[in-house]
Structures are given as structure tokens and as C-alpha cells.
Structure 1
């Protein structure tokens, strides 16, 4: 247990440091160094295509590896040839995916305007190479997780990769690289991570590349492929949800619009960081409740997590929404501020996603876990259809509205499913009181006039929001967790 605890502490520190670096990069650094069209090309086309290609090629084997490795562990010096079995089918799949991506290039270019297609065409091959690097990195990361060696992989993917990407952008902005050189350096950063993971496996004595027939006797390949197919369908729907809006903005408007929309998406992502931190604990905890059959504890956790998410989510959403002028002012490029309305709509959708609590995790870990796939596929389909309808009519706001409507709809359906099937729902009078307090605090901060100084306006609005919101929560006794913290601070 000691190694798990140590790795967990390191991973937590690395994750938060990586999130801070990533937020600073995507909000403060890259928009200053790259044009909207260049950001749209890299993060709105090449990276999403590569991510989807990597997932299809891997065929869910990263998750299958973590699921089945305990059967292979310590079966001989090389774990019965597990690592070659983990890599084999995905490498074959990558050859097929790479061929399809190459053959599909003319069709993809037809979706873009002439100028955008001319920008994309010379760099399209980078998406294929990037897909291979992402796939190899994810498979090795899964293998290292199974071995309980996670810190180095987390460091490479969360910190080192982001620093290398910023370094490439700085080199381009200073004239040391052409834009094509920047694209190659961007791809090369993912390749460096994959190579470093190979070196690390060799250093810890776990780089076993010789295949064995014993691997197929321990667990049949057909069973692993079947599990991988299920995981692939579930994962690909999540990838579509995260990437399809920027892809469709690029095809229906322009790559520059996709770049602006991506910055808006990154701004709104700050809202979900505390939700993600909670969900990491929630998954294993809820799975344990299912194992024990303790529905009372699960229902209590469902209510408490929803209350905490509502409390933090409302405060963060108001803090971001009220200070968008300040946030976009940090970028020093007025063209990105076109995405302000999109940010507000994305915040609304993600806030509702957090408020509805851990319904998705409850479904995914329940005996009816296959319904989670139905919900994910429905969500991905809804996002595609709504984007198709709304982007031509409302541009960037249409993409954000499509995302918002899809999240609200699917979470409403999930919440109803959990309530109907298991008799649990997370809402009570405290949630309504938190929303009322948030409304009053938001109106109080919004009513303050502009001071003419962005920093002073930020401090005034943030201070009023914090005081009114905190006082309202304490006076209405809506959050026992906050009352306990306040009591502890007063005693000190």
C-alpha cells in the first residue's frame, strides 16, 4: 500500500501543477504567440483527428490492459508476454487507421474553405504521426499504471509535454522555427514522451518485447477484443463530445473561428477542475458501495457531492463570468473576445453538469453499466446534430448552445434514470438556497460599475462576490461543510 500512497500523492501534486501550467499556456501564452487560425489548425483539427485516430487504433486496449493485467502479473519474468500482447493489435490497428486517414485527406479538405484547406493540407500528415505517438503513449501509460509506476508518466504527460509545446511556440514566435517546423515540433513533443516512457520501462526492468503463446492461454484474445470494443465505443463518444464542436466550427465557419472557440472552451474549463478532483475519489468510493450493497451511504454521498459541486460551481461560474473582460484583456488580442457569449453558454452547461452530481459514475459502476454507453452515444449524437443545426445560424454561440443543450438534456435523463431505477435523487432545499444565494451575490457584484482599471474592477467584483456569497451560505445554513470550516477558522 505504501507505493500506492506515495504515487497517489505525487500524482496529485503533478496533476495540479500540470493543470496550472496548462491553463496558463492555453489562456495567457499560446493565444499571444499564435494567431486564431494557427490555434484552430493545431488544437481544432490536427490534435482532435489524431486523438480520435489513436483511440480507434488502440481499440480500447489501454483500458483492457489495466483490466486484465492482474491475470498476467508475475507469470514468469516477462508477465507471460503481456506487453507485446498489449501493443500487437493496436499496432495493426494503427496501420489501418493511418491508411484510412491518408485516403480520407481529399474528403476532409473539401469540408474547409479554400484558404483554410491550403493551410491544413501541408500539415495533414502530422495528424497521422501524432496519432501514433498518442496511441503508444497511452498504451505505455496503461502498462505503467498496472505496474503501479505512475508518477513518471504523469510528469511526462502533465508537465513536460506542456512545457515542450510552449517552448515550440516561443521558438516559432521568435523566428527560430517556421510554422511547419512548429507543427513538427508539436508532434515531436508527443514522440519524446513516448520514447521517454520506453526508456523508463527499460530502466525499471519491465520492457519485455518478446511475445509468447502463453499470453493467449491466460486470457483469449477474443475476450480482450470484446472488452476493448465496448470501451472504445464508450471512450470515442467522450472524445467526440470534447472535439466535435471545434471541428465543426472549423468546417462551417473557419479555422480562425475554431481557434477563438477553443480559447472560449479553455476559459470555461476552469469551472470543471474541482468537479474532476471530486470524481477521482467518487468512482472508487461508489464502486465500493455497489460491492457492499450499501445504498444508504451511496444516496448520502450522492446528495453531499451534489451540494458541494453546486456550492463550488456557482461561485466559480460567477467569478469567471463576471470577469471575462479581465480574462480576455490578459491575452492582449481583441479578436479572441468574440467568444465571450460562447464562454457564458459553456459555463451554464458545465455548471448544470456539476450540479446534477455523480449520476454518470453511479450508472457506470452499477449492474446496469451498459446504459452508460447508451447515454454517452446519445450525448455524442445530440452534440453533432445540434452543432449541425445551430452553428450556421448562431456561429460560435451556436456551438456553445449545442453543447449546453446536450449536457442539460443528457444529465436530466441520467438523473431521472438513477431516481427511477434506484430510488436516489440528489436534490433538497439546500440546493435551492445555494442557487438563491448565488443569484443575489452575482447581481450584487454585477451591479458594480467599471472603475477604468481592470485589476481594481476584478478585486472589487471578486471581493463583493466572495463576501455576499460566503455570508449568504453561512446565514442560510445551506452547507454544513462550510459551517464546520468557518467554525474551525474562528477557533484558531
Structure 2
């Protein structure tokens, strides 16, 4: 777990710096200097870009993660044509996306024109946004396979938010118009693309070999079958983050204005999953290598430790955020009153997801990868159907319930198949202890009477939770990794005295 611990730590720190900048954008600048419709449009553009970019890769990233260890072992870097084939698949997918987006422009105008007319005015900006995000996904995949996850996380998470902050500032100070803001916002990933491309192709870890190798000639049927089955699996990490916003904008009255409200709790839930995103790149590579080497013990170790560590950090963040949701509403105004309830529902679902560890990666990279396709397909159908009917009937709360039910159901399916097929499960007695400590600490934070000063109230509640939860985790040595971090920090402090 040494490499996982090291790369996750660096990714974690830099990603949260990016999220701190994003918090300024999301919780202050956008709500206070943009209309709710304009704020909602920024999210809808991003949702469409993220969703369609996953389609544009044609599932090639899963093939890259699965088969690259074999290619590198037998071909080396210079003759490895898998990165080139992945690029060509994404290029083809991007062309198909551009054609499809133009063909279905009229259809989307009818579906979104009544509830979200501002989106229709800026619809074509989704095209450059999607193409640039597709490039980011490909470059991030290359970083993962050469184990430069720190670089990809820092650049992807940090530079987009910095670029957004700059664009917001230009608009606030009336240097650019709102239309120019949206045009430039659609290109906000371009700086990150340039930096990632430079880092990857100057590192020497990847070569672009255009000559079809003997490995591809021998394995192409297996690769195509794998990628075809995993096409929906690629969407599994994308769909829960995008479908809610798209359906809210299309189905609810005042779609973009409602979406602006939904952005707040959704962003805070995203903060909870940063450790998972930081850990995902390096653990995916290590799991692929472990399956190649038939190292079941290594996989089980990764499964248990990622599950426990993600749950501890997720509960820690949930325990700080949820007792402060009333303060968030006080800061943003009564229009955002539903944010607290939505965060509770979505946050619990995310905790279930975090507590399941790397179940999706273990299943998808094993010989039982077809079950990844089946569960992904079921999840997609359940998620869309639930969201469609619940949003039409209950609006924003329907979106929260639909997404939460689908995400929990999906994780239970994956957990069931991992136990049935591989006799692996992520939980231990320490899982129960972690949840118990978190509940006690959260109740203690809520017991504090409401203080008049918003900032003081928030700091006090956060401190009460942290003072109870973190010492309990360390004292009972719930996580060896977290205890090791704590001792490392103490040693560094003592050495400086």
C-alpha cells in the first residue's frame, strides 16, 4: 500500500486545493454575481460535456487499463500500439458525437426549450466543451497507466477551477460580457490539456506507435469484446454525476434555476468523493497488475484497505459538512433551503459507495468482467427510470431520491457478485466501529445551540465533530494507514523542536 498511500496523499492535497478554489466559485461567486439560470447553465454545459465525452471514448479507456500491462510486458514502450488505438477510437467517437449533436439539435430544442431556454441559446458550446473533456479523459488515462496520477489529478482538478475563477473575475469586472464568458467557459479545459500532453509525451512513459503489433493481431477480438461489454461500464462513473442535472433542466419547471439549487449539495457530495478520485488512478493500475500476476492476496488487501480508508475519510467530511448545512443556507439565502435535505440523501448514498471500496475496478478487471457490463446496464436503466418519474413528480427531491436509490442498488449488486464469484467482501468489524464513532460525533455537533455569528457557529460544530471522531479513529487504530500518517506527522513535528 506504500505507493497507494504516497500518490493518494499528494493527489488528495492538491485536489482539495482545487476544490477550495471551486468552493469559492460554487458557493460564493456564481450564486452572488450570476442569475440562477446562468449559474444553472454552467452546470448543465458541464454535465452534457462529461456525459458525451464518456460516449466519445467508445469504452477504449477500459481496454487501455485492462490490456496495457500485457502490452508493456511483451512489447515495451516503443512498439506498444495500444495508446494509439485508444486515441483513434476516441477520435472516431468524437466525430460521431459532433455529427449526432448537430442532427439532434432540434430534438433537444424541443425538450429543453420550454424549461431551460437559455441552454438552447448556447447549445452549440457543448461541442467544444465535450471535445476538450474527451481529450482530458484520454490524457488522464495515459497518466494512470504510467503511474503519474498526481500530475493528472493536480492539472485536471486545479487548472479548470483556476481558469473558471479568472473568467468569473473578468465578467464581474465587466471586462467580458456574459455571452463571451460562456464561450470561453466552453474552452476552460484547454490549458489543462496543453500541460498534460506536454508532461506525458516528454516523460518517455508512452510512445505513439502507429504500426499494428502482433499482440493486437492476436488479441484484437478479445479486446473488442471486452471494450464492447465495458462501454456501459465506462458510463457508470459518469451517469450519476450528470443525469440528475440534465433531467432537472429538461423536466422541472424553471429548470436551470432549480438546477442552480441542486448544484450546491451536489458539489458538497463531490467534495466527499475526492479521496476516491485521488485513489482511483493508482489502485486501478495496481489491481490490473495483480490480476495479471494472479495475486489474489494483493487484491483482497487493496479491497479491504480502500474500503475502510474511504469510509473513514468520507464520514469525516460528511460529519463536518452536514451539521453546517443550515449555515450554508443562511449564507446563500432561503432560495437554497432544499440544499440540506438533498445533501443528506445524496451524502448517505455516497457513503455507501465509498464504503464499498474499489468493487467496480476489481470486478471489471477480473475474468468475470461481463458481470460488470450486466450490473452497469441494470444501473443505467434503473437510474434513468427512477430519475425520470421522480423528478416529474417531486422535482429536486425526486432527483435526490432517484440518484441515491440507484447508486445504493448498484453497489449492492457489485458487492453480491464479488462475494458470490470471488468470495471477497470489503467489510470488517472496524467498519461498524467507524460508523458508530461518526454517528456519536455528528449528534454531538448538532447538540450545539445555534450561534448568531455564522462563521463562529460553523467552526465550533466542525471542531466538536473532529475532536470526537478523529481521536477515536487513531486511539483504536481503526486504520493502519491513517495511524501511520498521524505518527509521521508527530515525528516531523518533534524533529523540528
Structure 1 residues 284 and 251: CA distance shift in structure 2, 3 A: same
**Largest Rg, 1 or 2:** 1
Q: Once the two structures are superposed, what CA deviation does each residue of 1:128-166 show, in whole Å capped at 9, x if it has no partner?
A: 122222223433454566677777665543322321122
1:215 and 2:212 correspond = yes
Which residue of 2 is the match for residue 122 of structure 1?
A: 121
TM-score (norm 2): 0.82
TM-fit CA distance, 1:391 = 1.4
Q: How does 1:89-108 map to 2 (within 5 A)?
A: 89-108=89-108
* More displaced 10-residue stretch of structure 1: 277-286 or 262-271: 277-286
Q: How does 1:151-230 map to 2 (within 5 A)?
A: 156-194=155-193, 214-215=211-212, 219-220=216-217, 223=221, 225-230=224-229
Gapped regions of structure 2 (runs ≥ 5): none
TM-fit CA distance, 1:349 = 0.5
TM-fit CA distance, 1:275 = 3.5
Structure 1 SS opposite 2:187: helix
Q: Retained in 2: the 8 A contact 1:250–1:257?
A: yes
TM-fit CA distance, 1:236 = 2.1
Structure 1 residues 323 and 207: CA distance shift in structure 2, 3 A: closer
Aligned partners of 1:63 and 1:419: how far apart in 2? Answer: 23
TM-score (norm 1): 0.83
Q: Once the two structures are superposed, what CA deviation does each residue of 1:184-206 show, in whole Å capped at 9, x if it has no partner?
A: 10122234444556667787799
Structure 1 residues 300 and 130: CA distance shift in structure 2, 3 A: closer
Gapped regions of structure 1 (runs ≥ 5): none
Structure 1 residues 464 and 120: CA distance shift in structure 2, 3 A: closer
Aligned partners of 1:81 and 1:308: how far apart in 2? Answer: 36
TM-fit CA distance, 1:7 = 9.2
* More displaced 10-residue stretch of structure 1: 282-291 or 232-241: 282-291
Q: How does 1:1-400 map to 2 (within 5 A)?
A: 14-44=14-44, 46-64=45-63, 67-68=67-68, 70=72, 75=78, 85-112=85-112, 114=114, 116-117=116-117, 119-143=118-142, 156-194=155-193, 214-215=211-212, 219-220=216-217, 223=221, 225-253=224-252, 254-287=255-288, 290-291=291-292, 293=294, 295=296, 298-299=299-300, 302-330=303-331, 332-400=332-400
**What count of residue pairs does the alignment treat as equivalent?**
481
Aligned partners of 2:303 and 2:146: how far apart in 1? Answer: 32
**Backbone CA RMSD of aligned residues:** 3.9
Q: Retained in 1: the 8 A contact 2:149–2:281?
A: no
Structure 1 residues 140 and 255: CA distance shift in structure 2, 3 A: same
Which residue of 2 is the match for residue 466 of structure 1?
A: 466
Q: Retained in 2: the 8 A contact 1:309–1:355?
A: yes
Aligned partners of 2:203 and 2:258: how far apart in 1? Answer: 46
TM-fit CA distance, 1:181 = 0.8
